[in-house]
């Protein structure tokens, strides 16, 4: 496998591209604005065919280039069904620039699978930042795309539309049970591992509340 990252947009969103080196198939996670030019250039350089675009949640800073990337690549857009409305009908007051509507062709849910090439990702429904927030897990490749559920040293805000403190506590407690060796590729900020975040994740799980 090979993972590429672009950090882009006014809130420094991470756009991830995950490719299977044998079959040259790939997925993109969170095609923020602007990313389509970079993404298509990388796909051409690598000789990759983009099979899926996965939106980890519905907030504008993660999906502004969805529609354009679908047109440019023919990839299938996927998002959790609970966040579908936010992609189809973006809130014009929430973002600093217009976000084109995008229509998921694949509705995700707990235990959905994203398969491309030899890679198989399992969808974890991890609400709290939004109702339909998801993470993508590959135990075989030892990687977790965590969206805005888990960051290095933190978690996604719960005071934005769709946020729920109790729900994100449950989601973080769930992530605390994963393999400590998993690499965590978040929606913002640097990469981390489950093991590195484990002390505070376990405290959340035990105390059933956020640390601050």
Token pair 């002390």 in the structure block, residue: 199
Tell me what the mean pLDDT of segment 63-81 comes to.
Answer: 98
Higher pLDDT, 195 or 212: 195
pLDDT at 184 over 90: yes
Determine the structural domain holding residue 144 and report its residue range: 2-207
Query: In this structure, is residue 83 part of a structural domain?
Result: yes
**E-only strand ranges, 30-168:** 49-55, 76-80, 106-108, 113-116, 119-125, 134-138, 143-147
Q: CB–CB of 16/35 below 8 Å?
A: no
Mean pLDDT of 145-170: 97
Instruction: Tell me whether residue 212 is in a domain.
Output: no
Would 91 be classed as within a structural domain?
yes
Q: Using 50, 70 and 90 to split pLDDT, how confident is the model at 212? A: confident
> Tokens standing for 34?
């602007």
pLDDT per residue over 24-49, tens digit each?
A: 999 999 999 999 999 999 999 999 99
Q: What span, in angstroms and rounded, lies between the C-alpha atoms of 182 and 117?
A: 21
In angstroms, the CA 85 to CA 76 distance is: 17
CATH number at residue 190: 3.60.15.10
Residue 172 lies in a domain: yes
Residue 155: the pLDDT is: 98
In a domain, 153, yes or no: yes
Query: How many domains are there within the chain?
Result: 1
């Amino acid at each position: 496998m090979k993972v590429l990252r672009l950090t882009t947009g006014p809130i420094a969103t991470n756009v991830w591209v995950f490719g299977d080196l044998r079959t040259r198939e790939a997925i993109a996670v969170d095609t923020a604005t602007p990313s389509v030019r970079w993404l298509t250039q990388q796909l051409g350089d690598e000789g990759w065919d983009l099979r899926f675009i996965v939106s980890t949640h519905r907030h504008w800073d993660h999906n502004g280039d969805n529609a354009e990337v679908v047109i440019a690549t023919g990839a299938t857009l996927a998002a959790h069904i609970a966040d579908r409305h936010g992609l189809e009908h973006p809130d014009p007051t929430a973002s600093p620039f217009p976000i084109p509507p995008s229509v998921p062709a694949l509705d995700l849910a707990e235990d959905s699978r994203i398969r491309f090439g030899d890679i198989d990702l399992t969808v974890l429904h991890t609400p709290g930042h939004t109702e339909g927030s998801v993470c993508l897990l590959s135990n075989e490749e030892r990687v977790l795309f965590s969206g805005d559920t888990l960051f290095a040293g933190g978690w996604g805000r719960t005071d934005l539309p769709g946020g729920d403190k109790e729900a994100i506590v449950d989601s973080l407690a769930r992530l605390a049970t994963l393999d400590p060796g998993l690499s965590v590729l978040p929606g913002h900020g640097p990469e981390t591992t489950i093991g590195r975040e484990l002390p505070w994740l376990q405290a959340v799980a035990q105390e059933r509340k956020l640390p601050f």
